[in-house]
Amino acid sequence: MFGFRQKKKAVVKKKTKLELFWEIALRFVILTIGAFIVAFALECILLPNKVIDGGIIGISMMLNYKTGFNLGWIIFLLNLPFIFLAWTNLGKMFVLQTFYSVIVLGFATTFFVNLHYTVIEAPLLVVVFGGIILGVGVGLILRNSASLDGTEILSIKLAKKFSFLSIGEFLMSINLLIYTAAIFVFNVEQAMYSIITYFITSRTIDAIIDGFNSSKSVRIVSDYYKEIGNKIMKELDVSVTYIKTKGGYSGEEKVMTYCVVSRLEMAKLKEMVKSIDPKSFLVIEAVHEVEGVRVKRK
Instruction: Domain ranges for the chain, please list them.
Output: 18-210, 215-287
CB-based contacts of 230: which residues, under 8 Å, 6+ apart? none
Q: Is the pLDDT of residue 148 over 90?
A: no
Can you give the pLDDT at residue 167? 66
Can you give the pLDDT at residue 214? 63
pTM: 0.73
- Mean pLDDT, rounded, for 194-222: 83
pLDDT-wise least confident of 1-10, 31-40, 267-276 = 1-10
Alpha helices in 118-224 (DSSP H): 123-143, 150-161, 167-185, 188-210
Q: Is the pLDDT of residue 12 over 50?
A: no
Q: Is the pLDDT of residue 295 over 50?
A: no
Of 263 and 67, more confident: 67
Q: What values do phi and psi take at 261, rounded to 5?
A: -130, 165
Helix or strand (DSSP H, E) at 18: helix 17-41
Can you give the pLDDT at residue 118? 77
3-state DSSP call for residue 268?
Answer: helix
Per-residue burial over 25-36, b = 16 or more CB atoms within 10 Å of its CB, e = otherwise = eebbeebbbbbb
CATH 3.30.70.120 fits 215-287, yes or no: yes
Can you give the pLDDT at residue 296? 46
Q: What is the distance between the alpha carbons of residues 293 and 136, in angstroms, rounded to a whole number?
A: 27
Share of the chain above pLDDT 70, in %: 85
What order of strands is seen across the sheet that includes strand 241-246?
241-246, 253-261, 215-221, 281-287
Q: What is the distance between the alpha carbons of residues 169 and 158, in angstroms, rounded to a whole number?
A: 10
CB-based contacts of 241: which residues, under 8 Å, 6+ apart? 257, 258, 259
Of 92 and 12, more confident: 92
Q: Is the pLDDT of residue 20 over 90?
A: no
DSSP letters, 22-87, are HHHHHHHHHHHHHHHHHHHHIIIIIGGGT---SHHHHHHHHHHHHH---HHHHHHHHHHHHHHHHH
**Residue 13, exposed/middle/buried by CB under 10 A (0-12, 13-18, 19+)?**
exposed
Cβ atoms of residues 281 and 222 within 8 Å: yes
pLDDT-wise least confident of 41-55, 202-216, 283-297 = 283-297
Q: Is the pLDDT of residue 10 over 50?
A: no
CB-based contacts of 80: which residues, under 8 Å, 6+ apart? none
Cβ atoms of residues 179 and 194 within 8 Å: yes
Share of the chain above pLDDT 90, in %: 28
pLDDT-wise least confident of 91-95, 185-189, 277-281 = 91-95
Q: What is the distance between the alpha carbons of residues 30 and 22, in angstroms, rounded to a whole number?
A: 12
Q: What is the distance between the alpha carbons of residues 256 and 243, in angstroms, rounded to a whole number?
A: 5
Q: Is the pLDDT of residue 4 over 90?
A: no
Longest Cα–Cα distance in the chain:
88
Tell me, letter by letter, the H, E, C secondary structure of 177-195: HHHHHHHHHCCHHHHHHHH
Q: Which 8-state DSSP code applies to residue 258? A: E
Closest CA to 39 of 83, 93, 76: 76
pLDDT digits (tens, 9 = 90+) for 160-205: 777 766 666 777 888 889 999 999 998 899 999 999 998 998 888 8
Q: What is the distance between the alpha carbons of residues 50 and 64, in angstroms, rounded to a whole number?
A: 11
Please give the mean pLDDT across all residues of the chain: 83
